[in-house]
Amino acid sequence: MKSGDARVAMVGFPSVGKSTLLSSLTTTESVAASYEFTTLTCIPGVIEYEGANIQLLDLPGIIEGAAQGKGRGRQVIAVARTADIILMMLDAAKGEMQKALLSKELESMGIRLNKKPPLIYFKQKKIGGVKFTHMVPLTHCNEKLVMTVLHEYKIFNADVVFRADCTVDELIDVIQGNRVYLPCLYVYNKIDQISMEEVDRLARLEHSIVISCEMKLNMDYMVEKIWEYLALIRIYTKKPGNAPDLGPRDGLILRRGATIEHACHALHRNLSASFRYAIVWGTSAKFSPQRVGIHHKLHHEDVVQIVKK
């Protein structure tokens, strides 16, 4: 069951420290032992950070061949698809090998890590043949290749527009339409078992964090990075004539880029219908307080007062 303000799915091979991490960051106990396959069911826990409840899922260890149904691979990856971000737990001593294998398993189940959806417009039609255009020079594809791919999928009438220099694989992703694009943090655990030089090298890799669950090293920084990758903001509300509610459990948790309209929906589903204007204090305002409309974009820790008709 999905709960909380966001969901983080931990994936990794058995015995890389997922259960220990869950027990360290949340109040949930996941059976942790030094042998493989201790976690046989999906165990949820909750991290409380910046007033948000972040659901952390300890998924059963993925083994090689998960996408083909080995172990409980398919069910594990299906749950991972519903997450907001993936936390890939890796053994620091075997990190590169595990990272490559896990990425391959997730890719084969339609999960794209740290990638944006391809800038390709694709729409099937009933008649008219295939109309192919591109707005930039293409180095990976050409019209003949696009036609071949479409015919492979028995598509003979469609509009295809490349807005970027995309690959054939990206075109296939768009045609299939069931891909999930998720941010991923690569967490290298057990750094107490490798050299300082290797720790330094791993820490400099993109989207990577080095930790030790056993020695509680770098855990706070990892939670900060999870918050950053989730792209959440916290908005405080204020009633006319009252001080704003700034308590640790007060406020709304919204996505970065959210507007006053999103805040209205979070407060009450009918509030936007009776919305007149809002008053905002904070970094999104040109001056504080500022009177704004329903499409005003909010920033982290803004204070909002809604005025109804």
In a domain, 50, yes or no: yes
Residue 206 sits in a domain whose CATH number is 3.40.50.300
| 189 and 111 co-located in one domain | yes
pLDDT value, residue 275: 92
Residues in the chain, overall count: 309
- In 10 A of CB 100, how many CB atoms? 10
Provide the number of structural domains found in the chain: 3
pLDDT value, residue 58: 79
pLDDT value, residue 106: 87
pLDDT in tens, 81-95: 889 999 999 999 998
Taking alpha carbons only, the member of 192, 237, 241 closest to residue 217 is 192
| 226 and 237 co-located in one domain | no
Q: Give CA–CA dist 305/3, Å, rounded.
A: 27
| 199 and 83 co-located in one domain | yes
Please give the residue range of the domain that contains residue 75. 6-115+180-230
| 188 and 254 co-located in one domain | no
pLDDT value, residue 69: 56
pLDDT value, residue 156: 94
pLDDT value, residue 159: 95
- Residues of the chain short of pLDDT 70, as ranges, are 1-3, 28-41, 61-74
Q: Which tokens is 56 given?
A: 């952390």
Looking at residue 191, the DSSP 8-state letter turns out to be: G
248, 264 contact by CB (below 8 A): no
pLDDT in tens, 167-220: 999 999 999 998 999 999 999 999 999 999 999 999 999 999 999 998 989 999
| 225 and 256 co-located in one domain | no
pLDDT value, residue 179: 93
Among 209, 230, 251, identify where a domain stops. Answer: 230
In a domain, 1, yes or no: no
- Could you tell me which residues come within 8 angstroms of residue 104 by beta carbon, excluding any fewer than 6 positions away? none
pLDDT value, residue 1: 47
pLDDT value, residue 29: 55
pLDDT value, residue 57: 83
